[in-house]
Structure 1
């Protein structure tokens, strides 16, 4: 019954609910909360992090930039081709280097090129956000950047306890997307930034396949909350919520992705 209501109230969001299943554009660096600045490496594979799944080859990104204290810095020319290895394959990927200078939030926004998903005969484009904080000084983490597809956090995405919750709002060009469908994955296979590969063994054993990619829905205001049971990084992908719905004459699922990190209580 709920799904029928969601389809009626947010047809544009639910139209693509099954097409982008389990695809996640990563913007990965090991620690989202840092005591001090310095150089960091950002790994950018398009893959399935919960199961160390297939790495998909994508054209060069359309945009990549960082926002700090309201200032936007273009990073597109820092993106370099690389490879990423999963349990399934070694595939083409990208990576970038950046130096954190000063306290505050660094909001990295990566707009991948549309990817053709042959099994569905559609294109997928994910606009991914990852927020790195230096020194626990909050600045930009909850800003709405007016993206075509965006998850605006209501919880600091780098300051969550294991067993805590993450709350966000799904928006498109600043407007909430009611009843958006959101896929959730745990980065179960630890990424190794030195070898550009997922670990050979996962941190946990999911009790069933349903736990590999979990699905939740936003409410009528585009807001959702998810309880995070395990320390580590988690990805949230709101499917088909973007303002663009067609690319090269085919359907386009324009998704909003955000990465968060939970910390163990010691």
Structure 2
């Protein structure tokens, strides 16, 4: 028991890739006050370093789950461009209809991306969460994805200075020993334009923060700062090959932390 508890609560700052790939499902807020269509920008980027932008092809799936019901949002996607400090690349702008109270789980299943420098494909199945009127409905339920991180804390109103715990799943089963890269969204995209706002923190020595899931798939992380945090469980999915090359099928979740005021 002691071993499991230590593994579940450890957030290990061990060296990883200097720049971690993350698929962003960016909205300006997670708590929605008025009903309407919420814009979501899909970007494949290095959000902490605000570095190189990868080309995002049209996703295989883009949908939302509310009260257990799935709504396809592919027809809301419009191709756009996202400008990083060194390059520009294809991105997409979509929208999520938020009308009734409750949780809205936004899911993107991207087409596999070929990373030439590593000679592998990457597919980051990504979730983010919106809520209207502070009524919880769906956040603590798995969404039946090939791989996903199931949150054990409400992911849209984490308190900065507290902890976030997730469970890595592959086809609904826990993944032991998964490597989870953790990054802060230092530069938030500008929904009205094609670039990003100024970065609020500098690059972290040693690259991405990394945690390892325990024997039951759990990991925890002490959230030090308000804002958006991304967690990517690398290679946690069942698919391992695409077009004859290695595929890293990752589970990504974005959470929103707030300062107490």
* 1:28 Cα deviation from its structure 2 partner: 0.6
Structure 2 residue matching 1:77: 3-state secondary structure: helix
Residue 9 of structure 1 corresponds to none
Q: 1:184–1:133: structure 2 CA closer, same or farther, 3 Å change rule? A: same
Given that 1:35 and 1:136 are in contact with CA atoms closer than 8 Å, whether structure 2 keeps it comes out as: no
Contact 1:55 1:86 in 2 (8 A): yes
CA displacement at 1:122 relative to structure 2: 0.5
Gap change, CA 1:164 and 1:18, over 3 Å in 2: closer
Shift in Å at residue 205 of structure 1? 2.9
CA distance in structure 2 between the aligned counterparts of 1:114 and 1:69, rounded to whole angstroms:
29
Q: CA deviation at 1:88?
A: 2.2
Q: Which moved more, 1:130-139 or 1:36-45?
A: 36-45
- Aligned residues of 2:231 and 2:254 also touching (Cα < 8 A): yes
Counterpart secondary structure, 2:26: coil
Listed as ranges, the gaps of 5+ residues in structure 2 are 8-14
Q: What is the aligned counterpart of 1:111 among 109, 134, 145?
A: 109
- Aligned-residue Cα RMSD (Å) equals 1.9
Counterparts of 1:59 and 1:203, CA distance in 2 = 29
Matching of residues 212-231 of structure 1 within 5 Å = 212-231=207-226
Does residue 242 of the first structure (1) align with residue 232 of the second (2)?
A: no
Contact 1:179/1:222 (<8 A) preserved: yes
Q: TM-score, length-normalised on structure 1?
A: 0.89
Q: 1:242 to 1:19 in 2, by over 3 A?
A: farther
Q: TM-score, normalised by structure 2?
A: 0.91
Distance 1:193 1:177 in 2: 35
Q: Does 1:209 align with 2:202?
A: no
Deviation, 1:229, is 0.6
**Superposed displacement of residue 18, structure 1:** 6.8
Structure 1 segments unaligned to the other structure (5+ residues): 7-16
1:254 partnered with 2:249: yes
Cross-structure match for 1:174: 172
The structural deviation recorded for 1:196 is 2.6
After superposition, residues 183-202 of structure 1 pair within 5 angstroms as 183-199=181-197, 201-202=198-199
- CA offset digits 1:154-190 (Å, max 9, x no partner): 1000111111111110001100000110000000112
1:31 match: 29
Out of 37, 40, 62, which is 2:38 matched to? 40
Q: Answer yes or no: is the 8 Å Cα contact 1:34–1:133 preserved in 2.
A: yes
**CA–CA distance in 2 between the matches of 1:77 and 1:228?**
35
Point out the more displaced range, 55-64 or 234-243. 55-64
2:77 corresponds to: 79
Q: 2:16 touches 2:208 (CA, 8 Å); kept in 1?
A: no
The Cα shift of 1:98 comes to 2.5
- Give aligned pairs, total: 249
| Rounded Cα–Cα distance in structure 1 between residues aligned with 2:174 and 2:32 | 31
